[in-house]
Amino acid sequence: MQDLQTKPNGPVAAAFVAAGVGALVLGIFVVLNEVSTDISNFLKFDANYGLGSGVGPLSGKAILATIAFFGSWLGLGLWVRAKEVNFGRWFAVSLVLVLAGFALTFPPIFEFIVELFPAAE
């Protein structure tokens, strides 16, 4: 229900979901880095684009997750900037995304997922 005494909650809901998107993208690239040598080489942004030195694939994972965070925040923010959204639902989505991101960065979980791919190294 809209609280007429305050600003619309859309921009804040967008920020929360964007944090979840950043966390999930990070987790996905953690898994992909282990699954594919090609992706692992692509994620070496330090060697490929000069962003850092000696960081390895972590440079790509961190930078892409950060771009996903700010990019999705911008996109979602523009979409709902003047809207009052169902914050409980948006927050539930953001929480699921964040927890998925946490899970995918946990080594026993991402190693289990990697084992499901026969071609994984």
Partner 1 sequence: MEFTDRELWTVLHGLGLGTLFLLAFGGGLAGLYSLSSRLVTPEGVAERTPRLLIGSWAMAIVAWLTVISGTFIAYPWYRATPPEGIDRTVQSPELLDYPRYWLLASDRTAEWHRLGMEWKEHVAWIAPFLATAVAFAVLYYGAQLVRRGEIRRAAIIFFTLAFVAAGVAGLFGAFITKAAPVA
Q: Which residues bind partner 1 (CB under 8 A)?
A: 3, 5-7, 9, 11-12, 15-16, 18-19, 22-23, 26-27, 30, 52-56, 58-59, 61-62, 65-66, 69, 87-88, 91, 94-95, 98, 101-102, 105-108
Instruction: Provide the minimum distance between the beta carbon of 89 and partner 1 in the complex, in angstroms, as a whole number.
Output: 11
Based on CB atoms, which residue is closest to partner 1, 37 or 66?
Answer: 66
Instruction: Provide the minimum distance between the beta carbon of 16 and partner 1 in the complex, in angstroms, as a whole number.
Output: 5
DSSP, res 54: S
Per the structure block, which two tokens stand in for 57?
Answer: 């694939």
Output the furthest CA–CA distance in the chain (Å, rounded).
57
Instruction: Provide the minimum distance between the beta carbon of 78 and partner 1 in the complex, in angstroms, as a whole number.
Output: 15
Instruction: Provide the minimum distance between the beta carbon of 7 and partner 1 in the complex, in angstroms, as a whole number.
Output: 7
Separation of alpha carbons 19 and 55, rounded Å: 23
Based on CB atoms, which residue is closest to partner 1, 107 or 118?
Answer: 107
Separation of alpha carbons 93 and 16, rounded Å: 9
By three-state DSSP, how is residue 56 classified?
Answer: coil
Return the closest-CA partner of residue 86 out of 12, 6, 5. Answer: 12
